[in-house]
């Protein structure tokens, strides 16, 4: 479940600080490892986190982290531990009877522990790494590749230290301060600083995800706008084919006469909008539609004043050769149209008509060649 949809972040606990085991590179400061795990568990509980664990065996850090976690959980602020053991294994953290921690066991259908292990990592909102060997190192690499917040506690060496070195190279959602905190020697304040580091990483991740989602939304909106513009222009040009020959004005002819340039104006407004950052093609379409309607009606009205009998034998196709470009120009420059209307210049020539005045004779007047 994505971070934004989960009420309490889920932190995967991975590693081992068992001094009896051999790791390459070796463990360091193993004597303080168990207490450090409990301190981190307490801070995770105080921070409102849930835990994802994979084993309750004492040779792994989960048992000590859960013990510290349970100590800090109260009736007012209970905790939750989600265990992901393979189907043939069980977990038992021997919590006290009055513990305010709920342990939920999620068994994987696979008999291989690696399947449930790495699947759970990808579902987590963060990964704590301490000591450990090859599986801990791989878990850290998987988390880094998926840009999941990680806490590789380097002071205990082993696999977590290798992840810390890799994190310093790729950084993800960390900065210099975070890298320094993760590499510091262990002190009584280390657990608090580590959980604060986790919180900063999660905040940056959420911001990054929101920015990425916003960028995708803007891109999809732009693609949709381009598709709308192409469709509107195609339909506007199709009006030239469906206009028919000159005849008395009827509903079909008037619809094509007005509709085709309006479609062109929408296309012009959307194309204009595509050059502007952070704008909506739908709003631009409405503005372009308004500008196109005003401009085209003013143009037709001027023709009616010049030729009162225009509607008696309406040559829609001939007019469309002028009104479609006029509508596109009005939509593309809709801000100029509205500026003229606000200035009280509605009675003047419509914006864009000056581009056509030299080649647009009034209907009913003959050109020099006729």
pLDDT in tens, 9-42: 999 999 999 999 999 999 999 999 999 999 999 9
> Is the predicted pLDDT of residue 95 greater than 50, yes or no?
yes
pTM of the predicted model over 0.75: no
Higher per-residue confidence, 364 vs 248:
248
State mean pLDDT over 66-87: 93
Locate 124 and state its tokens. Answer: 């987590």
Q: What is the pLDDT of residues 227-260, one digit of tens each?
A: 999 999 999 999 988 888 888 888 888 899 999 9
Does residue 302 register a pLDDT over 70?
A: yes
- Write the CA distances from 29 to 25, 154, 167, 352, integer angstroms: 13, 10, 21, 79
User: Whose structure tokens read 């028919």?
Assistant: 244
Q: What is the pLDDT of residue 6?
A: 61
**Residues β-bridged to residue 131:** 16
CATH classification for the domain delimited by 3-186, as one of 3.40.50.450, 3.40.1280.10, 1.10.10.410, 3.40.50.10310:
3.40.50.450
d(CA 300, CA 351): 14
Q: Coil, helix or strand for 54?
A: coil
Q: How far is CA 30 from CA 18, 69, 204, 348, in A?
A: 7, 20, 32, 87
pLDDT at 280: 80
Q: In angstroms, what CA-CA distances link 273 with 94, 220, 232, 323? A: 63, 14, 15, 21
Output the pLDDT for position 303: 87
Buried/exposed 206-237: b ≥16 CB within 10 Å, e otherwise: eeeeeeeeeeeeeeebeeebeebbeebbebbe
Q: What is the residue-averaged pLDDT of the chain?
A: 86
Nearest CA-CA partner of 292 in 313, 266, 312, 272: 266
Nearest of 121, 113, 102 to residue 14 by alpha carbon:
121
Phi, psi (rounded to 5 degrees) for 91? -130, 145
Q: What's the CA gap between 324 and 234, in Å, rounded?
A: 11
**How many other CB atoms are found less than 10 A from the CB of residue 120?**
22
With contact defined as beta carbons under 8 Å apart, do 199 and 234 qualify? no
Q: What is the pLDDT of residue 277?
A: 66
Q: Are 281 and 274 in contact (CB under 8 A)?
A: yes
Q: Check residues 273 and 342 and name the one with the higher pLDDT.
A: 273
Instruction: Break the chain into its structural domains and give their ranges.
Output: 3-186, 215-355
CB 291 within 8 A of CB 264: no
> Are the CB atoms for 162 and 27 separated by under 8 Å?
no
pLDDT of residue 312: 86
Q: What is the pLDDT of residues 124-180, one digit of tens each?
A: 999 999 999 999 999 999 999 999 999 999 999 999 999 999 999 998 999 999 999
| Main-chain phi, psi angles of 314, to 5 degrees | -85, 120
Find the helix or strand (DSSP H, E) in which 182 lies.
helix 176-183
Given the structure tokens 């085709």, which residue do they identify? Answer: 260
């Amino acid at each position: 479940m994505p971070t934004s949809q989960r009420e309490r972040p889920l932190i995967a606990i991975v590693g081992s600080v068992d001094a009896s085991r051999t790791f390459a590179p070796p463990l360091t400061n193993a004597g303080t490892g168990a207490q450090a795990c409990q301190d981190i568990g307490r801070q995770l509980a105080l921070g409102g986190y849930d835990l994802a664990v994979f084993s309750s065996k004492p040779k792994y850090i989960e048992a000590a982290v859960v013990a510290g976690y349970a100590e800090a959980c109260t009736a007012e602020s209970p905790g939750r531990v989600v265990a992901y053991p393979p189907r043939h294994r069980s977990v038992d953290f021997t919590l006290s009877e009055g513990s305010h921690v709920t342990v939920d066991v999620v068994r994987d259908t696979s008999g291989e522990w690696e399947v449930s292990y790495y699947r759970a990592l990808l579902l987590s909102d963060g990964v704590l790494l301490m000591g450990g060997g090859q599986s801990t190192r791989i878990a850290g690499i998987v988390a880094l590749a998926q840009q999941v917040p990680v806490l590789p506690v380097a002071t205990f060496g082993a696999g977590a230290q290798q992840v810390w070195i890799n994190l310093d190279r790729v950084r993800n959602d960390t900065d210099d301060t975070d890298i320094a905190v993760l590499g510091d020697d262990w002190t009584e304040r280390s657990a608090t600083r580590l959980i604060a580091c986790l919180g900063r990483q999660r905040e940056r991740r959420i911001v990054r995800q929101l920015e990425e989602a916003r960028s995708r939304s803007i891109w999809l909106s732009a693609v949709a706008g381009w598709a709308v513009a192409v469709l509107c222009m195609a339909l506007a040009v199709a009006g030239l084919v469906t206009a028919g020959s000159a005849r008395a004005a009827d509903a079909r002819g008037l619809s094509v006469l007005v509709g085709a340039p309006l479609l062109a104006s929408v296309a012009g407004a959307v194309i204009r909008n595509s050059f502007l950052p952070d704008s909506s093609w739908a709003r631009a379409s409405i503005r372009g539609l308004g500008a196109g309607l005003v401009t085209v009606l003013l143009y037709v009205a001027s023709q009616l004043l010049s030729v009162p009998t225009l509607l008696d034998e309406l040559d829609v196709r001939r007019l469309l050769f002028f009104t479609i470009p006029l509508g596109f120009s009005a939509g593309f420059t809709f801000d100029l149209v509205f500026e003229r209307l606000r200035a009280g210049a509605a009675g003047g020539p419509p914006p864009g008509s000056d581009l056509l005045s030299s080649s647009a004779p009034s209907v009913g007047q003959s050109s020099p060649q006729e």
